[in-house]
Chains A and B, each alone.
Chain A
Amino acid sequence: MRRFFSITAWAGVALLGASALGAIALRRGETLNAIWFVIAALCSYLVAYRLYSAFIAARLLSLDDTRATPSERHDDGRDFVPTNKWVLFGHHFAAIAGPGPLVGPTLAAQFGYLPGTLWLIAGAAFAGCVQDFVILFCSIRRDGKSLGQMAREEVSERGGFIAQLAVLAIMVILLAVVALVIVNALKSSPWATFTLAMTIPIAILLGLYLRFVRPGRVLEASIMGVALVLFSVVAGQWVANSHSWSHIFTLSGIAITFAIIISAFSASALPVWLLLAPRDYLSAFIKAGAIFSLAAGILFVRPQVLMPPLTRFIDGTGPVFSGKIFPFCFITIACGAISGFHSLISSGTTPKMILREGHARLIGYGAMLLESFVGVMAMVAACAMTPGVYFAINSPASIVGATADAAATTISSWGFPLSAQTMNDLARSVGEQTLLNRAGGAPSLAVGMAQIFSNTIGGAHLLSIWYHFAIMFEALFILTVLDAGTRVGRFMVQELGGRLWKPFGRRGWMPGILLSSAVIVGLWGYFLYQGVIDPLGGINLLWPIFGISNQLLAAVALVVATTILLKMGRKRLIWITLVPMASLVTITMTASYAKIFDPSPRIGLLANANALAAQITAGTIPGAKLGETHRLIFNQRLDAVVTAVLALMILVLIVEAIAQWYSILRRSREPILHESPYIATRWAEDFSGAAHGDD
């Protein structure tokens, strides 16, 4: 009888989800309430978690709770810390949730709400969650080894080296892109710039408190810090209204670029407890609060989604970024559906803290579902604003014009009615001088979030406060990603440099620290700078390359996972990782080819470089702009080379892996699995749970 009720209940959930998905997909010509998105996503996640993840856990991975995990075998209270599964779920989610699932769906909304939403839900359930879950499992079975180490041991020595290089290259591009999102959000905005600048002294204050006054008392310090940051959001209004102060904090894109580069260099080179860690604590609390509030706000306000399901821009002529729906919708959504970077977390801290193998399902699969839900909420926030406003904020001046009148005329001609007055009123109501041409996704997401929040609390009076709270929230945790990424990149540079000259590899050697920090900051800083000076706003140029590289890393992770599963003898179920891997390789290789060779200058990097070169030859570029144009040509060609090198590296790894698979399937070589030996858990007998807890 219980089984009957269970089956009936799950059939009900599946039916409800299918109805909501049907409503989203089939509604035409009328607005749709956001609650349909929430129902469709939640029901799909519940069914995927209940059925697909359970199937993977039982049949593919055979999770074994009697097996001691690394946290039990090496329990040292430092790296290997047995942790309650819900606490670890929170840790893991905080680590994987970055700006990607917020910015990606916001940008992909230019195709309409339908393709992005479907990919967010299906991509997460069948690819992203599978990747995170399987890599976490593989790392648990190998004492918490990293993706690079697993690639070296299970695929080949060369495969491991390629994976390591790919991680460094991808990190450089990732940092440049997320920094560009902040630059576009902060330029010419004294309120937002002041608020973010204030996080530096606040973080240093917290760092000193946590180091010297109450070592390690993170909670009380964070509560004080969050209160100070919220105060600085309010104080930003006074700065913006003061003539002299607003002048100081009104900075150009180039000035903000250099400020961010200096900030990240300092965070990398200074002791980690002084700036990086305390800012990360602030970011974690504010991120958790903002995401929870956004979900609650959407449920409370239940806004109407005004964007059509599909726009005319699926043909590749979109103003936000150029490229057809396939493959660029998948590339743009990025982390909300699948992110290669997650495999670094799943093979980093998490496997060393997991209490039982069975918890990998909730933490690996479940946390990624939650991240996908964040992506769906970002999509709702972007699509709930008037489409004309969305395009005015996210399109570069070179396409829609630099004035409100020009933008209104251009965007209205696309079939999205917009008046100049609307844009001016909106900018005034959020406390900005202008909202035009703020490519990058952050400002439009902030407008969407502010409208939802102000409809929940405070009404129109608090719109400007909510907008700047949202900008601060996005910028703060992007800065955290920048700080932490720069520091990790510094270690990678030191490790690679240490192979050539030993002292350079020593982590405590100050000249090595400064030089490696300068190298990593210089690398991503260069890409950031070229994005800032790009006439199309940079996001058009860099976000697709970021998406491609991130998805290529996911392909690497799935290649490693597939190899390990084949060695484990799971041939019949290998489609679970093989199909997402093949799909990702197809998507990323198609996108790479289009980015490099597409004949349209708005898509193809080489075509754009050639078009600019032809303009110079024809003499249509004014003399004053010649230097800048030559630099743009160089940058386009450099980006084409970077994209090609990344794609080639991954192809080499795939060829290596296919050779392995062939020998395993032909049984010409005995597969060697580098798993840690089975040791039975002793926690069933003597684990008190007092310190760690479990369900």
Chain B
Amino acid sequence: MARIAAHAEIKAGAAAGRPASRSRLSCIVRIAWRALRDWCGDAAYEHYLRSKGTRSASAHTLTPAEFYVEQLNRRYSRPNRCC
């Protein structure tokens, strides 16, 4: 799917008159940036807002600060670092 998205971005770049190699490079950088943000947890709140559970829940949506603390409490209550 990421490959399809990358292809679409390259096509859009070409349509806007940017050379394909530049579009490809910017696309790779964008994908790498997104992966880095996903890996380190920077994008966790955005995922939370987009999740099916949040969209369908009748309860109130957590603020970024509430979500951050709640997420950490959950993550560090089970083994998450190994020997």
Interface residues of A (CB under 8 A from B): 74-81, 83-84, 86-87, 90-91, 94-100, 146, 167, 171, 174, 178, 210-212, 215-219, 222, 271-273, 276-277, 280-281, 284-285, 334-335, 339, 341-342, 344-345, 348-349, 480-481, 484-485, 487-488, 491, 507, 546, 550, 689-695
Contacts and interface: CB of A to CB of B under 8 A. Distances in A.
6 contacts: A78-B70, A97-B82, A100-B83, A146-B78, A218-B40, A485-B79
B21 interface: no
B12 interface: no
Interface centre among A277, A485, A694 (most CB of B within 10 A): A277
Contacts of A345: 79-80, 82
B60 interface: no
Contacts of B1: 689, 693-695
The 10 closest A-B pairs by CB, nearest first: A77-B51, A76-B53, A77-B48, A689-B1, A694-B1, A215-B65, A344-B79, A216-B68, A215-B64, A87-B38
A339 B40 CA distance: 24
A281 B40 contact: yes
Contacts of A695: 1-3
Nearest to A683: B1
A211 B65 contact: yes
Contacts of B51: 75-78, 81, 691
Interface centre among A77, A280, A348, A690 (most CB of B within 10 A): A77
Interface centre among B34, B39, B51, B81 (most CB of A within 10 A): B81
Interface in B45-72: 45-54, 63-65, 67-72
Given A280-B81, A487-B77, A694-B2, 14 more contacts: A77-B50, A83-B38, A95-B80, A95-B82, A96-B82, A100-B82, A215-B65, A216-B68, A218-B42, A273-B69, A480-B81, A491-B77, A693-B34, A693-B38
A620 to B, nearest CB: 39
A693 B80 contact: no
Contacts of A271: 69
Given A91-B39, A215-B65, A349 B78 contact: yes
A442 to B, nearest CB: 14
A74 B64 CA distance: 21
Interface of B: 1-5, 34-42, 44-54, 63-65, 67-83
Interface centre among B41, B68, B72, B77 (most CB of A within 10 A): B72
B76 A277 contact: yes
Nearest to B33: A219
Nearest to A74: B53
Contacts of A211: 65, 68-69
Given A81-B47, A216-B67, A488 B41 contact: no
A335 B82 contact: yes
Contacts of A222: 40
A691 B76 contact: no
Nearest to B65: A215
Contact of B73 (A272, A341, A349, A485): A272
A218 B34 CA distance: 13
Given A84-B35, A273-B72, A693 B2 contact: yes
Nearest to A546: B83
A506 to B, nearest CB: 13
Nearest to A348: B78
Contacts, number: 164
A691 B5 contact: no
B14 to A, nearest CB: 21
B48 A341 contact: no
Nearest to A693: B2
A369 B64 CA distance: 36
A550 B31 CA distance: 38
Contacts of A284: 40
Given A79-B74, A693-B34, A349 B65 contact: no
B49 to A, nearest CB: 7
A216 B83 contact: no
Contacts of B39: 87, 90-91, 94
A484 B54 contact: no
A219 B36 contact: yes
A285 B76 CA distance: 18
B33 to A, nearest CB: 9
A348 B78 CA distance: 7
Contacts of B46: 691
A167 B79 CA distance: 10
Contacts of A694: 1-2
A219 B40 contact: yes
Contacts of B52: 75-76
Nearest to A97: B82
A106 to B, nearest CB: 14
A97 B79 CA distance: 13
A281 B13 CA distance: 35
Contacts of A90: 35, 39
A212 B64 CA distance: 10
Nearest to B73: A272
B83 to A, nearest CB: 4
Contact of B80 (A78, A349, A507): A349
A80 B68 CA distance: 16
Interface centre among A210, A281, A691 (most CB of B within 10 A): A691
A450 B22 CA distance: 38
Contacts of B37: 219
A487 B4 CA distance: 42
B80 A87 contact: no
Contacts of B35: 84, 86-87, 90
Contact of B77 (A78, A488, A690): A488
B81 to A, nearest CB: 4
A480 to B, nearest CB: 6
B50 A335 contact: no
Contacts of B63: 215
Given A87-B39, A218-B41, A693-B5, A78 B71 contact: yes
A84 B49 contact: no
Contacts of B82: 95-98, 100, 335, 339, 341-342, 344-345, 481
A481 B81 contact: yes
B47 A77 contact: yes
B53 A348 contact: no
B54 A77 contact: yes
A216 B74 contact: no
Contacts of A174: 83
